[in-house]
Amino acid sequence: MPTEDTHKGSKGPFRVYSPASLGDAIRHYRTAAGLTQAQLAEMAGLQRSYLSELESGKETEQLKRILRVLRQLGVRMTLDEADW
Amino acid sequence: MPTEDTHKGSKGPFRVYSPASLGDAIRHYRTAAGLTQAQLAEMAGLQRSYLSELESGKETEQLKRILRVLRQLGVRMTLDEADW
DNA sequence: GTCTTCTGTCGGCATAATCCGACATTGTAG
DNA sequence: CTACAATGTCGGATTATGCCGACAGAAGAC
C-alpha cells in the first residue's frame, strides 16, 4: 500500500450508531495509522477475514443489542483519537 | 424501586475501555432514566438476565475483540447523553 | 414482622459468531 | 501488460453467546 500518509489524521470524532458506522470508523483510524488489515488483525489477535467483515459493517447480534440499549437510553457512542 | 428521580442526570461522559466500564455506564444511564432492568430489557428487546450480566460487566469475546482493536489504534470510546 | 419489587445468578439448549483456509477481486507500480 | 499487495468473500468446523425459566437475596413500604 503505497499511500504514504505522513500526516497525523485528525478526522473525527465518529459517532457510532450502527455496525456499519463502527466499521467505517475502524477503517478510518486503521488507514490513518498506515496499517493493513493483516497487521492490525495480528496486533489485536484476530483473523484478518473477521476484521475485513467488521470494517464492512457486518451486523452481529451482540453489537446490535448493545446499540439498541444505548439508543433507548438516549446515549450516544463516540470514537475519537486518544491523542496521548 | 421507589427512588423517584425527576432530575435529568447529567453525569458523564463515560470512557469505555472494558466490558466492566460499559456496564457501569449503562447502569448509570438506566437508573438516571428511572428505569428498571425489566423495563429497559423490554424496550430494547432482550432478556432481563442478560441486561443484568451486561451491567455487571460480563466479559464477552466480541466486545473484547472490538475494544482490543480500538486500543491498538489509539482510539477511545466515549458514551454521553445525546441530550436531544 | 410480611409483602413486594428489583436484581444477581445458575443450567440447558438453540443459534449466532469466529476461526481458518482458500480463492476471487481490486488496485498500484513497474 | 505482469507481478505483487491488499482486501472481499465464501464454506465448514469449533466455540461463544443469549434466551428462557427459575430461584434467592437485598432493600423498601407498610
* pLDDT tens for each residue of B6-35: 344 467 799 999 999 999 999 999 999 999
Domain annotation covers residue B68: yes
The answer to whether residue A84 sits within a structural domain is: no
pTM for this prediction = 0.87
Q: Domain limits at B18? A: 14-79
Chain D nucleotides with an atom closer than 7 Å to a protein C-beta: 5-11, 16-22, 28-29
CA angle in degrees (0–180, nearest 5) for B50-A70-B58: 35
Q: Which residue is nearest to nucleotide D10 (CA to C1')?
A: A49
Torsion sign (Cα): A57, A60, A65, A66: negative
Give the sign of the dihedral formed by CA A76, CA A79, CA A80, CA A83.
positive
Please report whether residue B40 resides in a domain. Answer: yes
Chain A CB contacts of B69 below 8 Å:
26, 40, 44, 46, 51, 54
Low-confidence ranges of chain A (pLDDT < 70): 1-10, 84
B3 is a domain residue: no
The answer to whether B67 faces chain A, any CB pair under 8 Å, is no
What pLDDT is attached to residue B12? 75
Residue A65 included in any domain: yes
Q: A37, B40 in Cβ contact below 8 A?
A: no
Please indicate, yes or no, if residue B2 is contained in any of the structural domains.
no
Q: What is the CATH number of the domain that holds B46?
A: 1.10.260.40
What whole-number percentage of chain B has pLDDT above 90?
77
- B32 assigned to some structural domain: yes
